[in-house]
Structure formats: structure tokens, C-alpha cells
Structure 1
Amino acid sequence: MEHPFIRNHHYNLIRKQAGLLQHTCSTVSDPKVVESVRLGAQSKVVEAFPEATAFQRRMLENIADLRTANDAEHYLRSLEPYLAPFDRVTDNQLKKLFPKNKKLKLPDLAAIDFRYVTYLGWTDIATNKMFLVYPLDGRIIGIEGKFTPANKKSVCFLCNRHEEVALFTAIAKTKPANASPDYYKALGNYLCVSSDACNRNVTDVDALEKFVRAVTG
């Protein structure tokens, strides 16, 4: 059996394209339009896996065969054994990522299905802080920032969907060579209030990885 190779954001992309194709098949009568959407969905899914094996590529290409909601549901279920989960972390590992927070509020790791996690995020309303954990370049990175609810829906910088957002502001850890002792650079973006919703929506990690690199240097 093939090793798991579909990360959460990949699975969301596939699910999005499967839904679009199924909707087109059920609402559009022009066969040329349907075929165009069919080929587009297949192309976008396959292009997301440039290093796919021949077996993996054939599996992904099967999205072009979808016609009904049942087809889409069956196809997505068939991919679940190949979901590559987020790197599992322990409470102690999380505490080590944020050593200055002696009373760090931790998420309930036992309740999380890590197959559907692109980044681990949670908030501490008491301190107006948000914590984000993401594996990058072979190591687990933790980012802590100020959490300011916007009390409105807007576009999340990470998943690019219209959701309830908060301004997540983190301080960059690097400084210019000649910076004064009190120098700091704050980096802020509107991020989904609900990390669960964000993880269900995200189809690309470029924005997330760019932000993590900007904060950590």
C-alpha cells in the first residue's frame, strides 16, 4: 500500500474541485462546459502533487470520473487512507515551544483528528493571545501573537475564505544589525477566529509559510 501522501490542504483542494465538478455536472447542460470543468479539476489536483508516483497520479486523476454527489463522496472516502497527518505533538513539546508562558493554555490534543490539520492553532481569551504551531524545514515552530477580534467577517490571509476573523499580530524575532535595543517589528494579518474552520478551508500553505518565515527569520 502507498504511504500517506495527501496533506490536509491538498485534501481540501481535492474536495473543493470535486464539489465544483459535481455541481457543474448537476446544473450545466452544455457538455463542452462540463468537460472543461472536468479537465480543469483534474489538472489542478494533479499539479498539486508534482512528485506523485504513477499509482498516486492515477488515483488523483480519477476525479475526472465524478458525476454525482455519491461519486464525489465515494471518491473522497477512497482517499482518506492516504491522508498524511500533522506531526503529532505532546503537551510537553508545546510548552517547550512557548517557554515564557508558565500558565500556557493548551488545546485538547486527544480530541484532534490530526489528518485534518494543516496548522495547530488555539486562543487564550483571558490573555488575548493566539498560538500557532506549524512544521517547517524539519522542525516544529511555535508562534505567539496578540489576538484582536475584528467582530466581523473578512478574508483570512491564510485560507483566503470569508470567515469571522481576528487580527493576529506577532513580533518578528530577528532585528537589523544596527537596530536600537528597543527595536521591534510587528507583523499582523487577519486570520480565522476558528482554527478548525481555517483548517477545513485552507488549500495552499504558501501564505502560512511566508508568515512563519517572516516572524522567525
Structure 2
Amino acid sequence: MSSFERDDIGRNEWVAMDGLPGFRAGCAGFFVGDGEEREFWVMGGYGESRTISGVFPVDEHYRDAVVMELKNGNGGCRWREVGDMWEAGERMRLGKTVVVEDGDDRSRPAVFMLDRNVIFRYDMASNRWRKESRLPRQVPCDSEFGFVVLDGELHVITLLKAVEPAEIRRPRLRKRAGTLYIQIYHPKKKTWRSLITKSPFNYGLDFNTAVMSTIRL
């Protein structure tokens, strides 16, 4: 898609703004700056597909980012293009991306990406992804995983699919989702910790659509 809209909470409606410079889907977006210097960044994603040998369709993934300068509220907004964030052959696509807001300086959030088993931090000055840390326990390349932020920490969540003998004997019964293994990284302390917990659901989790949030009682 190339359309871009802003939710006007006061009027309870969506307001159309200048569209993206080109077609882009499956991208990541976040805010940077504050007040007159506020910007909206859009990274990665894919555009029109191409074919291999004229037969197999393959999505064309973007290596760059585009930025909308949100000056004077809704007026004077315009897009600017940011160059490629990595070299050709370095990686195929943008990995799962999260944003950590600094409590002292919310205008400069830290942007992290999980690419395979390595966490990268985005350096806006050089427009490059720098290696931050490696997961203590590697995630199999064919397994699903979640990458989220809670209380300023990065959580990498995987599902340990353990099938109990009783489930093998009774295949018609609904299987439990299994055990969640969570690896937690603290960006400021540069430390890792982990925890294991039973999934509260009786079905599998789709980490592409599941969300997490902090609940304070």
C-alpha cells in the first residue's frame, strides 16, 4: 500500500495525508523526536514482486527507510528518503523490529531488530544496523518466535512444543500450547536473563498477531 492516514482522536476520524513515495507493505513504523521536530519513520517492507525465470514470484524487499517530517501539526508534512540500511547480500529483509523509548529522552528512542539469533541496534547517524548482542540460546530457523518490549527490556519468546505421552494415546483431545521460553535482554545493563512458563492457552500462539502488554494491579 502507499496510502498514509492519521487518526484524529478529537474528531474520531482518519485524516488522509501525503502517501508513501512508493508501494510498501509489511513495514515497521515509529515516531522520533518531539514538538516541531517530530518525525514518523517507516522501515523495510516489500513492494512489487518479481519473478525468477519468469515463473516463481518473489517479493522485492526494501533495504531503505522513508521519513515524514511532521512539522506544524498536519501542515507542511513531507516525505524524505533515507538510503539503504545495509549492503546487498548482507541480509534479505528487515527482521522483527521493536522500539524502546528512553524515559529521560523520549525524543530519541532506541530501535532494535532481531535477525536470526542476533539483536542489532539502529544507528541513525550512520544509517546502519550495529550488532548489539547474540541470543544465549539460539532459536531454530524454522521456528516461530515473538520479539517485544516490556518495561524497557527486549523479550524473545519461543514455544517449546513438548508432546505428552497422554496426548499421543489420545490424539482427538485438544493439545495444550506447550511451554513458553522467554529470553530477556536489558539494553542499558547489557545483560540477559530467561524464564520458562506454561502457556495459559489451550491452543497454539501466532506470534505474528499476538501482542503483549504490562498490566499493573
Above 0.5 in TM-score? Answer: no
Considering Cα pairs closer than 8 Å and 6+ residues apart, tell me whether 1 or 2 has the greater RCO: 1
Q: Please indicate the TM-score interval, normalised by the length of the shorter structure.
A: under 0.3
TM-score, reference length from structure 1: 0.28
